[in-house]
Amino acid sequence: MAEIIEMPKLSDTMTSGTLVKWLKKEGDTVTNGDKLAEVETDKATMELENFEDGVLLRHYVGEGEEVEIGRPVCAIGEEGEEAPDAAGGGEGGPSEAAAGEETAGKEAASPTEEAAPESPLIPAEPAAETTASTGRRKISPLARKLAEEHGIDPARLTGSGTNGRIVKADVEKAVAEGVPAASAEPAPASAPTAPARESVREIGPPPAPAPTPVPQLESREEPVSNMRATIARRLLESKTTIPHYYLEIEVDMGPLLDLRQSINAGLADLPPEQGGARFTVNHFFLKACAEAIRRAPAINSTWAGDKVIRHGEVHLAFAVAVDEGLVTPVIREADRKGLRQIAMEANELTGKARQKKLTPAEMSDSTFTLTNLGMFGITSFFGIINPPNAAILSIGATVEKPVVVDGALAVGRRTTLGLSADHRVVDGAVGASFLQALQTVLESPSVLLV
């Protein structure tokens, strides 16, 4: 008898998830441990694991559709077995289920553009396409994305899908037949030109090339992803419930930059098995923060209402930009790890973050957070505290500027660091002590190698 696979709870705060992509098609043979689909939760994009052996008989959910915990997503059974009906699945398969009466008018069920495959050469299965309204026309997200890429107005197309829905094949047909682009204007008739005279030579510089047209801005609405909604909720909670205060300090980065250059010159060209490595400025900041927290441990705390929790380990979170916003992977027990280990873990977590492969455990239980906008040329800023942390360090760009050294004017390499702190936990003197400790470590960076 076929087994119905339901949407599981993939994180402690999850109430629903968006099925971003099916990894197994209807008719595929699956075994215990196979990954069936990618699901975006409120924290990350995770994989839906299979625990049954058999054949994937039916998808009940289309790509891009939001699914509540416990709702059927697919059926697995014996080859040739008929898939059972399931609440929310509908008799017409996932494409009709997403467009049927059960989800009519629900914006949450409309897939985002990011949920469609990035390349039209790797389309989703037709049965997994869901319906989105475009004016009075209905068009699948994959077809809509392809139409936008080719500048085709869906109003010019005739849909061959269910209830006249425009599908990928309709757009491809339009491209092949040369349907005019949405913004195309009728070309003016060319004026007749006089026959060229071979004996006449043009005098003067060649005509300037036509200017490249500037892309026009267009208005559109984008559904809020689970991750973006969670970021918005947590940041609002942070700013409205945590009494922030701000401190900043300027650091001489010359010694650290020279040390980094020297280390990379000796290690960057070696293979990993011979100790090869390449360290970024961020790696040094992570290690320096762990060392500074050891010297000013009160910063490593959490407000818990009727008590203050003083953490015995330093779990460092660092911000990584992804399409949906920011994620904060965590290096655990950073105070007990060397520069090489911290760099290795930071690189691995950053890669997983950009591939949307971080697990909730890899983004939980931080005690302090770093955020860096220096690579964008931002010289100073203050981040919003990442609960349950009591502080966040903001790292600006390193700039060359005139400084006075031993009474003489010189060119310095300076970075401004900003600290946002929770005044319920971290008094001003504590925040200042931490920044002073961090300044000392960064300006004498050899201690980071001990």
Joined tokens for residue 158: 């005739």
pLDDT at residue 83 is higher than 80:
yes
Beta-sheet pairing, 368-372 with 391-405: parallel
Region 383-409: mean pLDDT is 95
Region 402-413: mean pLDDT is 93
Domain boundary at 84, 101, 118, which?
101
Single out the catalytic residue among 150, 244, 283, 423.
423
- Total domain count, the chain: 2
Give the least confident one: 74-88, 275-289, 397-411.
74-88
Find which of 70-79, 211-220, 293-302 is predicted with most confidence, using mean pLDDT. Answer: 293-302
Greater confidence (446 vs 182) lies with: 446
- CB-CB contact of 121 with 88 (8 Å): no
* Domain extent for 72: 3-101
pLDDT of residue 272: 82
Quickly state the pLDDT bin for 371 (edges 50, 70, 90).
very high
Residue 423: active-site member: yes
Say how far apart CA 218 and CA 199 lie, in whole Å.
51
Helix axes 168-177, 141-149, angle to 10 degrees: 20
113 lies in a domain? no
Quickly state the pLDDT bin for 101 (edges 50, 70, 90).
very low
pLDDT of residue 383: 96
pLDDT of residue 38: 87
Say how far apart CA 340 and CA 262 lie, in whole Å.
15
pLDDT of residue 24: 92
pLDDT at residue 87 is higher than 70:
no
Quickly state the pLDDT bin for 59 (edges 50, 70, 90).
very high
pLDDT of residue 204: 60
pLDDT at residue 446 is higher than 80:
yes
Q: pLDDT digits over 255-313, tens only?
A: 999 999 999 998 888 888 888 889 999 999 999 999 999 999 999 999 999 999 999 99
Q: Residue 63 maps to which CATH number?
A: 2.40.50.100
Count of beta carbons in the 10 Å neighbourhood of residue 71 = 18
CA-atom Rg of the chain in angstroms: 29
Domain boundary at 70, 101, 132, which?
101
Region 57-68: mean pLDDT is 88
312 lies in a domain? yes
DSSP annotation of 123 reads P
Q: Residue 319 maps to which CATH number?
A: 3.30.559.10
109 lies in a domain? no
Joined tokens for residue 432: 């200042």
Region 238-246: mean pLDDT is 96
Quickly state the pLDDT bin for 417 (edges 50, 70, 90).
very high
Domain boundary at 61, 86, 101, which?
101
26 lies in a domain? yes
0.75 cut: is pTM over it? no
Quickly state the pLDDT bin for 9 (edges 50, 70, 90).
confident
67 lies in a domain? yes
Region 64-79: mean pLDDT is 87
235 lies in a domain? no
Percent of the chain beyond pLDDT 90?
44
Count the residues in the chain: 450
pLDDT of residue 90: 38
Q: pLDDT digits over 328-341, tens only?
A: 999 999 999 999 99
Count of beta carbons in the 10 Å neighbourhood of residue 54 = 18
Q: Report which of 78, 100, 113 is spatially closest to residue 1, judged by C-alpha positions.
A: 78
pLDDT of residue 182: 54
Beta bridge partners of 54: 30
Say how far apart CA 446 and CA 438 lie, in whole Å.
13
410 lies in a domain? yes
- CB-CB contact of 33 with 49 (8 Å): yes
Say how far apart CA 2 and CA 178 lie, in whole Å.
46
pLDDT of residue 441: 97
277 lies in a domain? yes
Q: Report which of 13, 112, 113 is spatially closest to residue 360, judged by C-alpha positions.
A: 13
Backbone angles phi, psi at 181, to 5 degrees: -70, 160
Say how far apart CA 119 and CA 429 lie, in whole Å.
54
Residue 45: helix, strand or coil by DSSP? strand
AA identity, residue 186: P
